[in-house]
Structure 1
């Protein structure tokens, strides 16, 4: 067992060394270089409450959204989680995920998340007093569905792979296919649908060091080919995340760890189109049933403080979980996330 744990650690360090390449850490700031930005939105209310630290600590079925290796640490045999997030500007999104343990310490998960952008009023230019005419109401939408395979190869190490398909519908636009301007008699205007879907992949690992509750996680998200709409090409929001956390209670009061835990974590996020971002989070647990969370995000334009609570209860062999997460969003309205799930 000791030899295998040593191999697991070296494997994790090799992955970390590969991810910490000059390309991933280059200080080039490239804004507006990716699409399908909804894939970056936090899903788990528990993770959002502790500073959007989701790479470690979320062991329910909704853990696949931040780290596909997370579900390998699921305490029961099966888990189902539903989440709802009230986002900014009257937008929101919902998700459902499920995970089931199988042979060889393998865990399989499936997930689906849909984005609601609300209603928009379409217009196009016209030669009238207003300079435009209305083209009706349209409602952009987006969704992603995935399947995850994760394995806990030892009591300390797990890996996971999530294959997903993301789709975005921008609505219908009126496009001129002939003519030079609005007064051109040869002007031809047609309706054209703008929607596109493409596959993508997430890869994640988790390693528990076995003392003071110290853990490390590394994730590559949204690895995909470039997508082309009209003449422009862009990738999905590719990013690399590193995370570490520990249980401070095991260090400060080891005789109390059965009643209290106090996890402190930090995530380093390296997106394709922005500079490095840091996310701090803390979670206090009482009797493994009541959770209080808080966190802070650094190098974001609007986001900063987060907070949340959670409740876990057991009825027979089934456990039930409810989590709430809050995030301040600067000039926009605050974000509220809710998750509910059960497992056995």
Structure 2
């Protein structure tokens, strides 16, 4: 037990951002708006319909191949080969897709490969000039992420995972890329289905779009550094805080999130399952101007010996087009 406590304490310290990472001017002004300081914003778009429906309170709930996008330690929940594909109709008619495949290697090690891409589509080109600037041409752009993740189960309760990924962003004739690292942990408390999890994603240096010898002014931009800590548990059902009809279960999750380009926020989620076949979900995110609430559902059919999961999520937006997600997962 002492080893477990020590491991958790060390990892928790690595997930706390150092004070030096924040400018003194920010500290003096208190609640400072840090928006616009980072590139690769697509890294903050949640992958997976189930996770989006739960208000993205997912760091402690996702225990399959989809954990590659949230918490690398979560892939330790895979019992065999798994694959997943997710499609998101994102805002401004952009398309976001993500896929992951992984499996178990030995009794204690799991590995997953992930890929995600955001397509901006065709954007009308405009230049600075006396007229409206429209040239009649279009430009395109997008983002790509490819990652490799590994997790190891140290005890029947503690798992630790790491991930490495390459991310690239392009727009018109400009583009840049960099490597980033993820780290995370999950801990099964052992009662009431309680799971405690933490993750830190996107450790990387700053990036630039222009060549070093370019005469144009250059600005360095950080990658969105995301810290998550969450708790999930069974409210009603087997091993829950209260009883429920046989085959019925209600789970809840809560997650605090901190990024280097925004203030702290809170994610909340609920999932009601019936006979491990039908799931109804809802979530709420505090601290956001858009996309606060979400709803979703899923089914878990078995086809030809393959366990499938089909999930849908709708996220409510007031001023922008509401994103919709569809995910399909397979497990052997």
Q: Do both proteins adopt the same fold according to a TM-score greater than 0.5, normalized to the shorter chain?
A: yes
CA deviations on 1:18-54 (whole Å, 9 max, x unpaired) are: 5346638975431211000001000011000011122
Give SS of 1:77's match.
coil
Deviation of 1:252 after TM superposition, in Å, equals 3.7
Q: What is the distance in 1 between the residues matched to 2:140 and 2:194? A: 45
Structure-2 residue corresponding to 1:94: 97
Give SS of 2:121's match.
coil
Question: Is this contact kept in 1: 2:65–2:101, CA < 8 A?
Answer: yes
- Distance change (3 Å), C-alpha of 1:32 and 1:255: closer
Which is further off, 244-253 or 92-101?
244-253
Question: Is this contact kept in 2: 1:221–1:239, CA < 8 A?
Answer: yes
Unaligned runs of 5+ in 1: 172-192
Does 2:249 match 1:253? no
- Distance change (3 Å), C-alpha of 1:22 and 1:232: closer
Structure-2 residue corresponding to 1:7: 3
CA deviations on 1:276-335 (whole Å, 9 max, x unpaired) are: 010111111111111111010011121211111011122353201100111112200111
How do residues 113-192 of structure 1 correspond to structure 2 at under 5 angstroms?
Answer: 113-126=116-129, 130=131, 132=133, 134=135, 136-171=137-172
Structure-2 residue corresponding to 1:265: 253
Deviation of 1:84 after TM superposition, in Å, equals 0.1
Question: Is this contact kept in 2: 1:124–1:135, CA < 8 A?
Answer: no
Which is further off, 260-269 or 33-42?
260-269
How do residues 206-225 of structure 1 correspond to structure 2 at under 5 angstroms?
Answer: 206-225=186-205
Give SS of 2:76's match.
helix
TM-score, length-scaled by structure 2: 0.89
CA deviations on 1:96-147 (whole Å, 9 max, x unpaired) are: 11011001411110011110112111122346xx363506111111110001
Does 2:235 match 1:243? no
Deviation of 1:12 after TM superposition, in Å, equals 1.4
Deviation of 1:91 after TM superposition, in Å, equals 1.2
Structure-2 residue corresponding to 1:187: none
Question: Is this contact kept in 1: 2:145–2:165, CA < 8 A?
Answer: yes
Q: What is the distance in 1 between the residues matched to 2:178 and 2:241? A: 48
Question: Is this contact kept in 2: 1:126–1:133, CA < 8 A?
Answer: no
Which is further off, 136-145 or 19-28?
19-28
Higher-Rg member (1/2) = 1
Q: What is the distance in 1 between the residues matched to 2:11 and 2:33? A: 24
Question: Is this contact kept in 1: 2:117–2:144, CA < 8 A?
Answer: yes
TM-score, length-scaled by structure 1: 0.86
Give SS of 1:301's match.
coil
Structure-1 residue corresponding to 2:59: 55
Question: Is this contact kept in 2: 1:54–1:66, CA < 8 A?
Answer: yes
Give SS of 1:58's match.
coil
Q: CA RMSD in A?
A: 1.9
